[in-house]
Amino acid sequence: MAFFSLILVRGRHWVGRFPRAIAAAVPGQSANPFSSFTVEDAVRRWRLVLLCVVFVAFGIQGWIAPPLAAAERRPNLLLILADDMGYGDLGCMGSELLLTPHLDALASSGVLCEQAYVASAVCSPSRAGLLTGRDPRRFGYEGNLNKADAGYATRPELLGLPGNEHTLGDHLGAAGYATCLVGKWHQGTGQPFHPNRRGFDHFCGMLGGGHGYFPEPGKNQLERNGEPLNEFSSPYLTDFFTDEALQWLQSREANAAEQPWFLYLSYNAPHTPMQATEADLAVFEHIKDPRRRTYAAMVYALDRGVGRVIEYLDQHSLREKTLVVFLSDNGGATSNGSWNGPLSGAKGSLREGGVRVPTLYSWPSRLPAKSRYRGVVSSLDLLPTFMSAADAKPLPLQETLSHQDRKNHGRASKEYGDYDGIDLLPLLDAEQPEASRRLFWRLQGQAAVLKGANKLMRPSHRPAQLFQPATDLAESKDLAGQDAETLGSLFQELADWESSLTTVPLWDSSPYWSEESAQIYDRWVPKAEPR
């Protein structure tokens, strides 16, 4: 901007000097060397040239950098993640017993996605896909991370999100956003994997995959930007994480920061251990099942936290210019009292109950209220959607690591793209028709591919099956015997995808979990909401 101001200042100086210079050069003559031109003609011509230069200069400036007004239109981005929440465990998703007024209001203010998926049926690889916008199997992130480093045969420096993968924090930080993560990380506990090194300016939470809900000084795994925590604004962890998120937002308000922000509020509720406050438990005395009652109280606390954050946005006139997304990292678990509604399967299974989750998008100034989107969406879509909202491009992929197949890296990028998601904004506001999607999964002996209406399931313990989950939510009608052509085609697509991966899984869960997944696949059928 200073350069263009200089043009204006110096230009005025040149306009004043130009006619005098011409007149001095040819005494007694017109300032123009051609007899038909006068000094006044030269001045007018020179001013016209200068005006053109200024217009071109400002045109170049607008091309190099977006106008300030466009930058101010970039929304804040709020991503709220639940942990092991069941598909049916919101009022807007069908629960008659749980109380989720704030999440239900969030759904009413925007778009509820009916067929929304995550990248894996367990926490850690699901979050890796969500954070990178890439199928986590493409970089060897297939199994869950649920043990100390000594519990794996893998080199410790590989036990986490690979260093050549960008996170949402990296992408949005490069686009000019302030970035914050509060809550559960679960992408590796070593220093190279620390959130502050992976794109997040501020981090408060735990590096591992679980934590008790009543932390004590000196007896917790919580930190703030690398410093252990021994004081807590609230005794209950879910409330404490909400406090931390609000404090970060308030700090930005106090500094009068105009910079847009990205807040990743990653609750660990309602993941085990099943712990709730006495006050929240008292609200659900009508639920007789003790595990379901505790689960309801934990979800109630999470919903309260969401309400507090949304209220802050309303009070500070930020709601209209904030895109809010809520989802769970995978389906409800068999151990926490969750309910997957009409779906078969649960956490750990590639049936719908393991990978299909409640998902809400709300942006009052852009997306329609009280809407439902029935097409397929994925947590992998967060990256392109957020970057579209931020009016920025994702960062280019980095070089492959020593253990990654460079040829397959290029092959996969050509076939599937560098990133696996799509921009949902034109779909959610009905500017474009529903998109046909292709999604892959692999976990604990199972593999699956969803293409269009058809989903091929290849479990570890029985022949492959073919379902149409958009209409058969329970996956109760196996079409494999009726449509051999589609079955064979999807088998080939799954094989092609597996052969394009750049590496074998960098670690895996104990084979014990393959048996668990097989049992969930066969036995976990739709049931009524626990009471």
The full DSSP string for 34-65 is STT--HHHHHHHHHHHHHHHHHHHHHHHHHHS
SS3 324: strand
SS3 356: strand
User: Which residues participate in catalysis according to the annotation?
Assistant: 123, 186
327: β partners: 81, 359
What is the DSSP pairing of strand 371-378 with strand 438-443? Answer: unpaired
- The span from the CA of 518 to the CA of 459, in Å, is 7
What is the DSSP pairing of strand 202-206 with strand 178-184? Answer: parallel
Does residue 217 have a cis peptide bond before it, meaning omega lies within 30 degrees of 0?
no
Q: In what order do the strands lie in the sheet with 76-82?
A: 227-228, 222-224, 202-206, 178-184, 261-266, 76-82, 322-328, 359-362, 111-117, 371-378
For 399-436, give the secondary structure using H, E and C. CCCCCCCHHHHHHHHHHHCCCCCCCCHHHHCCCCCCCC
CB 102 within 8 A of CB 120: no
- The span from the CA of 209 to the CA of 198, in Å, is 17
Among candidate residues 77, 78, 76, 82, the one with its CA nearest the CA of residue 266: 82
SS3 163: coil
- Which tokens is 321 given? 């210019």
